[in-house]
Structure 1
């Protein structure tokens, strides 16, 4: 839209009319350096060989090959090339068939003493080959982790073991809260 050789309007005046700074008009992108282009080629080749390498693993590989790079630079170059590692994501959000829904018992409830409300949550820890699953049982009042377990499968046994240990050590809570279900715990574990 700006004409360099306009007979009456200078480049500066045209930029002001368009609400554009003169430096923006004169700016020419520098592009990537030769070193970055070489690194991008190496990243691309390595990702074809090991498509599960993320930023940290790729940076470590390049450093082992003698290149002075950090995670930030590798992340920027991989983003610029549109590269993402391919890895299996956990499949943790599918409810079991016939899963009963429980009422939410904590709305408006003041937690004022230990063993009033416990919570449990499961998270996954990505490992070199697959995942480990971590379950933790926590008291809402004291914020103390009462029991925890690790497992390499999403079977229910390791969750039950953690809950059983917490009950044996600290007694029964009034309410047990998890992401998937809410329940009142009476004399037996529901």
Structure 2
């Protein structure tokens, strides 16, 4: 519930001016909210219609289409033109997603047959004198060619 709705619900008992002052809401904002209620209701009805069309296209694609493809389908069907950003927003609100086909990349593939390099310094990285121990780390190995 927003503050304007609260004032609307309780103004007869406590007075609109007093409630607006307590809630830190300007009265002009409250009255603007009140006079635009019909437009908001009409907008919600339009959004519900678009949401139904989006659900149908999403079901027809077996749940694979995302916002760009659904937008293209809605344009092909005709009817009111819908922006892809609006389609994405409505899809977020009704909990629909398209399928993402992304390939996973693995950079390092360890060769299981290779011999392990011995630990010559015994994990003791402190040196008693300068230039007596050199340590390095190579974490990336080139993938062996497939045969």
Query: Structure 1 length as normaliser, TM-score?
Result: 0.43
Gaps of 5+ in 2: 1-5, 118-136
- CA distance in structure 1 between the aligned counterparts of 2:16 and 2:59, rounded to whole angstroms: 48
Which protein has the bigger strand share?
A: 1
| Aligned counterparts, 1:10-89, within 5 A | 10-22=15-27, 23-24=29-30, 27=33, 30-31=40-41, 32-50=43-61, 51-67=63-79, 68-89=81-102
- Output the aligned Cα RMSD: 3.4
Q: How many residues are matched?
A: 104
Contact 1:15 1:25 in 2 (8 A): no
User: Deviations along 1:100-135, whole A, 9 cap, x unmatched?
Assistant: 9528xxxxxxxxxxxxxxxxxxxxxxxxxxxxxxxx
Contact 2:11 2:19 in 1 (8 A): no
User: Deviations along 1:37-88, whole A, 9 cap, x unmatched?
Assistant: 2221121011112122111111111111113222122122212212111233
Larger radius of gyration: 2
- CA distance in structure 2 between the aligned counterparts of 1:71 and 1:82, rounded to whole angstroms: 16
- CA distance in structure 2 between the aligned counterparts of 1:33 and 1:21, rounded to whole angstroms: 25
Which protein has the bigger helix share?
A: 2
Paired residue secondary structure (2:11): coil
Query: Structure 2 length as normaliser, TM-score?
Result: 0.53
Contact 1:54 1:84 in 2 (8 A): yes
Contact 1:59 1:69 in 2 (8 A): yes
